[in-house]
Amino acid sequence: MRPHRATSRPGAPPGGARSALVHAAPPPATLLIRRAHVLDPRTGLDGPADVLVRRGLVAQIGAPGAVEAGDGAEVVEGKGRHLLPAFVDPHVHLRTPGQEHKEDLETGTRAAAAGGYCAVLAMPNTAPVVDSAPVLGALLDAAAREARVPVGFLPAITVGQRGVELTEMAELRDAGAAGFTDDGLPVVSAGVLRRALRYQRLCGGVLALHEEDPSLSGDGVMHEGALSARLGVAGIPSVSESTMIARDCALAGYEEARIHLQHLSARESVEAVAAAKAHGVQVTCEATPHHLTLTDEAVASLDTRLKMNPPLRAESDRRALIEGLRDGTIDAIATDHAPHARDEKEVAFEQAPMGTTGLETAFAALYTELVVPGVLPLGLIVEKLSAGAQPFALPVPRIVTGEPANLTLVDLDARWTVGEHGYESRSDNCAFAGRRLRGRVLLTVAAGAIAYRERSFAVSAA
Amino acid sequence: MRHLLSIGDLDRDDIERICARAEQFSEVSDREIKKVPALRGRTVLNLFYEASTRTRSSFELAAKRLSADVVNFAASGSSVEKGESLKDTVLTLAAHSPDAIVVRTPHAGSAALIAGWTTAAIVNAGDGKREHPTQALLDVFTLRQKLGALDGRSVWIVGDVAHSRVARSNILAFRAMGAHVTVCGPPTLIPRGIEAMGCDVRYDLDDLREADVVYALRMQRERMDQHLVPSLREYAARYQINGRRLGPRQVLMHPGPVNRGVELSGEVVDSPQAVITAQVKAGVVVRMAVLYELLSGTRAVEPAPLEPQLA
């Protein structure tokens, strides 16, 4: 099938639009991080260096021990630690407005900072749904007061996420929409999605798609396979995701529109994306740390923290996701951080809501399960942890002189048990709870300001 | 054994021990006074979130024949209808210090969840579509009475396997006892991946003759509403166990209640091959054995008599 030739191409947002990312900007940092191993796969930095941040900008990168701190600079000893470009998560649920008992802008972005993130994009499946400019405007205003790290919002594609009428996408873009999504739900009607894809020519903004065919997933609660058969719970087949991906890639190709596919979970999905990319479809996609490191075997206990949508799948699916990251089919890692209150998860597996938190464990889980055993190189993981910025036209963090400081200092040797010190998130439904992980975020600088210090580190650095 | 949550937690020795104990209790059930003091002073709580007359009364009878005190807690007409969570209900009931809680819920894993909230021994009397371990134990007991050892025997489980907790527990139990298990039913009612439990899968009854035991499952009418099979008529035509299909030396089992004319024809229900009422009878003695297994020996504290006993 040859794509239909269009006279215009999807463009940037109209001029004068509100910035997509806002936060309560703390005073810009002035600090010298000394002798850390600086690793930035995009600039090729990979070795010990001093990095001086002055008034929020990277002022100097020099040989270890050679950079002068200057007046008023805090000195952070980075020896034995790694300094990375901070991470960007294009897929988090901050539960605001309406579900602040699970998370709010402050706790969610604090969790992000604790995980090494300098920017996050929040999903619109809130109460009410973020589907109008006034709701979006109020959120951006609240974020300007409460958010610890820059946060952007993806309003809904359809009113109320009901999959019928398009939202006022152009007005939403002017009001600061970073893109659009009905996340949590698929856009079931191909006709509705096609209209949204055409409308992108007017308003820009990538459409982020939760891919699932409800007629196939039905009342499924976990991956369909031997384990769901054994446990007597309804399964969600892999083809529920991959068939919708194939359909939507075909639509995006036909309309020459840009789509971003959320949380890939199945081997067939990776194959469908690879085929679409080979045909020139403008598609990007993401995978989560839990789908990259866990399988449905972990669900045998029916621990509700391991219930999420899409579900943890088979080892062959996990392997395919890893290969997809390696060969570039999968563009970015996103957490799908989905907090739920404890009482909501303290029920039988079939009744529990879908979702796991993920911001505070993403790096350590990936480092422990993929880098330490030699499955993927550290540089690739670091790159993919911030690559989610690109599809949404957000600045990609780089350690370059003159650019805003977006930095994460990590201790790769630190071992910790997930949950032992609680969480910055308001919720504790973490799929990795109780696991022993390696790699600890010690310090996060987001948009030039210190957003997080690990407790023990704050003491030693004083 | 602390709880009975899944047949998967039992090995062959456990199952044989429970069957042997049930055998001893059979003798009690045939007495005029059908009661032994084995669990005197113990409290057994029946917590049922699904309508169940048979299983609940079978457990009640079993506990009473062991002289335990029994409290029945049905979810309807209680605080559950006022929105109390499973956890709060269990914590409330646990405050009465029951020694065992027999629980049935419509959700997989609930019995295991409850086991984490109380010190009582938990007996899973059906958790959603996952398991119904005492049904499997009474079925093994019934078959051993009828056939002796199950090693090398062929058992066909026929019907709606996807929605059957009985099927899952029985696949595990029959296999643990050395039988060969085949599940058979409409492809839309056989879950993908079930063969990983170690059973064969068939979609027609052409080779039913190879079975020593035919275990028919209840075909629920709500499956019709979900359009999982085209019609009960077509289901019965393909999968009903009737006089034409059931051989004279095959044993016919069913967990009840039977839909006559759907999964079984009337003639086979009334045939000598059917052991359906023997299963019901075995239910009481096997549940006595399970309660005895869980409660005897643990914290065997005889309460001091409040009043001087009459000599």
Helix, strand or coil for residue A326?
A: helix
Spell out the residues 6+ positions from residue B226 whose beta carbon is closer than 8 angstroms to its own: none
* Closest Cβ–Cβ partner in A226, A233, A350 for B196: A226
Q: What is the pLDDT of residue B298?
A: 57
How many Cβ pairs closer than 8 A exist between chain A and B?
71
Which chain A residues touch B86 with a CB distance below 8 Å?
Answer: 347-348
Contacts of A348 in chain B (CB under 8 A): 86, 105, 107-110, 113, 127-128
Where does residue A375 rank: exposed (0-12), middle (13-18), buried (19+ CB within 10 A)? middle
pLDDT above 90: residue A455? no
DSSP, residue by residue, A44-105: TEEEEEEEEEETTEEEEEESTTT----TT-EEEE-TTSEEEEPEEEEEE---TTT-TTT--H
What's the CA gap between A143 and A145, in Å, rounded? 5
What's the Cα-to-Cα distance from B5 to each of A91, B126, B176, rounded to whole Å?
Answer: 38, 9, 16
Q: Are A429 and A355 in contact (CB under 8 A)?
A: yes
Cβ neighbours of A351 in B, within 8 Å: 107
For A57-83, the pLDDT digits (tens) are 999 999 999 999 988 899 999 999 999
Question: Over 90: is that where the pLDDT of B116 sits?
Answer: yes
Point out the least confidently predicted range of A1-5, A191-195, A252-256, B167-171: A1-5
Q: Do A347 and B85 touch (CB under 8 A)?
A: yes
Amino acid at B262: V
pLDDT at B79: 67
Nearest CA distance, B307 vs chain A (angstrom):
44
Instruction: Indicate the domain borders of chain A.
Output: 86-398
Q: Which of B194, B151, B199, B185 is nearest to B263 (CA)?
A: B185
CB contact under 8 A, B194 and A348: no
Helix (H, G, I), strand (E, B) or coil at A437: strand
User: Which chain A residues are Cβ-neighbours of B85 within 8 angstroms?
Assistant: 343, 346-347
Which pLDDT belongs to residue B225? 82
Instruction: Kindly identify which residue of chain B lies nearest to residue A351, measuring between CA atoms.
Output: B107
Section A328-336 average pLDDT: 98
Of A230, A235, A351, the CB nearest to B197: A230
| Nearest CB to B129 within list A226, A232, A343 | A232
A350 min Cα distance to partner chain B (Å): 6
A235 and B194 within 8 Å at the Cβ level: the answer is no
Q: Which domains does chain B have, with CATH numbers?
A: 7-132+283-295 (3.40.50.1370), 133-279 (3.40.50.1370)
pLDDT for A282 beyond 50: yes
Residue A310 to residue A315: CA distance in whole angstroms: 15
Of B108, B112, B193, the CB nearest to A350: B108
Q: What angle do CA A210, A213, A215 make, to 5 degrees?
A: 150
Q: Which of A225, A229, A232 sits opposite B128 (nearest CB)?
A: A232
A347 vs B contacts (CB less than 8 Å) = 85-87, 107, 113
Query: What pLDDT, on a 0 to 100 scale, did the predictor assign at position A14?
Result: 42
B112 vs A contacts (CB less than 8 Å)? 302
The predicted structure's pLDDT at residue B29: 83
The three-state secondary structure class of A34 is strand
Q: How far apart are alpha carbons A310 and A223 in whole angstroms?
A: 8
Burial of B83 (0-12, 13-18, 19+ CB in 10 A): exposed
Judged by CB atoms closer than 8 Å, whether chains meet at A225 and B105 is answered as no
d(CA B301, CA B307): 17
Q: What is the mean pLDDT of residues A125-150?
A: 98
Nearest to B191 among A229, A347, A351 (CB): A229
Q: How far apart are CA A397 and CA A245, in angstroms?
A: 29
Residue A174 bears catalytic tag: no
pLDDT at B84: 87
CB environment B286-306: b (16+ within 10 A), e (fewer) = bbbbbbbbbbeeeeeeeeeee
pLDDT for the residue numbered B224: 76
Contact B251, B273 (CB under 8 A): yes
pLDDT bracket for residue B200 (50, 70, 90):
very high
ipTM of the complex: 0.91
Instruction: Spell out which residues of chain B touch residue A343, defining contact as CB-CB under 8 Å.
Output: 85, 87
Query: DSSP string of B129-198?
Result: TTB-HHHHHHHHHHHHHHHS--TT-EEEEES--TT-HHHHHHHHHHHHTT-EEEEES-GGGS-TTGGGGS
The whole-angstrom separation of Cα A251 and Cα B248 is 61
Q: Taking 50 as the threshold, does the pLDDT of residue A396 lie above it?
A: yes
As a whole number of angstroms, the distance between CA A40 and CA A85 comes to 6
Q: Is the model's pLDDT at A7 over the cut of 90? A: no
Angle at B147 between CA B244 and CA B38, to 5 degrees: 125
Residue A91 Cα to chain centre, angstroms = 4
Task: Collect all residues of chain B within an 8 Å Cβ-Cβ radius of residue A228.
Answer: 191, 193
Distances, alpha carbon A151 to alpha carbons A147, A160, A363, in Å? 7, 22, 19
- Min Cα distance A233 → chain B (Å) is 7
Question: Could you give the angle at the alpha carbon of B293 between the alpha carbons of B292 and B297, nearest 5°?
Answer: 85
Average pLDDT of the segment spanning A222-231? 98
Contacting residues of A for B193, CB less than 8 Å apart: 224-230, 235
What tens digit of pLDDT does each residue of A108-128 get?
A: 999 999 999 999 999 999 999
Out of B87, B107, B168, the one facing A350 most closely (by C-beta) is B107
- The shortest C-alpha distance from A300 to chain B (Å) reads 10
A371-386 pLDDT, tens digit per residue, is: 999 999 999 999 999 9
pTM: 0.93
B257 preceded by a cis bond (ω within 30 of 0)? yes
Residues A290 and A305: beta-carbon distance below 8 Å: no
CATH 3.40.50.920 fits A86-398, yes or no: no
For residue A299, what is the nearest residue in chain B, using CA coordinates? Answer: B109
Q: Which of B107, B131, B132, B190 to mutate to test the interface with A (most CBs of A within 10 A)?
A: B107
Chain centroid to CA A36: 26
Q: Which of A336, A343, A411, A428 is catalytic?
A: A336
Question: Edge-to-edge strand order for the sheet containing A259-261?
Answer: A180-181, A207-209, A259-261, A283-287, A332-333
Does residue A5 carry a pLDDT above 70? no
- Residue A113 has what DSSP assignment? H
Strands A31-40, A74-77: parallel, antiparallel or unpaired by DSSP?
A: parallel
Q: What is the mean pLDDT of residues A361-377?
A: 98
Query: If interface means Cβ-Cβ distance under 8 Å, which residues of chain A face chain B?
Result: 224-233, 235, 237, 302, 343, 346-351
Q: Is A83 exposed, middle or buried (0-12, 13-18, 19+ CB in 10 A)?
A: buried
- Which of A225, A232, A346 minimises the CB distance to B130? A232
- How many Å from the N-terminal Cα to the C-terminal Cα in chain A? 63
CA distance B86 to chain A (A): 7
> How many other C-beta atoms are found inside a 10 Å radius of the C-beta of residue A138?
14
Residues of B with CB under 8 A from a CB of A: 85-87, 105, 107-110, 112-113, 127-131, 164-165, 168, 191-197
**pLDDT digit string, tens, across residues B2-41:** 999 999 999 999 999 999 999 999 998 888 888 999 999 9
Cα separation, A413 vs A428, whole angstroms:
24
pLDDT band at A8 (very low <50, low <70, confident <90, very high): very low
A343/B85 Cβ within 8 A: yes
Given an 8 Å threshold on Cβ–Cβ distance, is A346 in contact with B105?
no
Kindly determine whether residue B193 and residue A230, on different chains, have CB atoms separated by under 8 Å: yes
Q: Which residue type does A415 have?
A: R
The tens digit of pLDDT for each residue in B229-272 reads 999 999 999 999 999 999 999 999 999 999 999 999 999 999 99
Question: How many Cα neighbours within 13 Å face the side chain of B157?
Answer: 33
Exposure class string for A159-179: b at 16+ Cβ within 10 A, else e: eebebeebbbbbebbbbbbbb
Q: Which of B47, B49, B110 to mutate to test binding with chain A, by most A CBs within 10 Å of its CB?
A: B110
Terminal CA-to-CA distance of chain B, rounded, Å? Answer: 38
Q: Is the pLDDT of residue B226 over 90?
A: no
- Please tell me the predicted confidence (pLDDT) of residue B78: 65
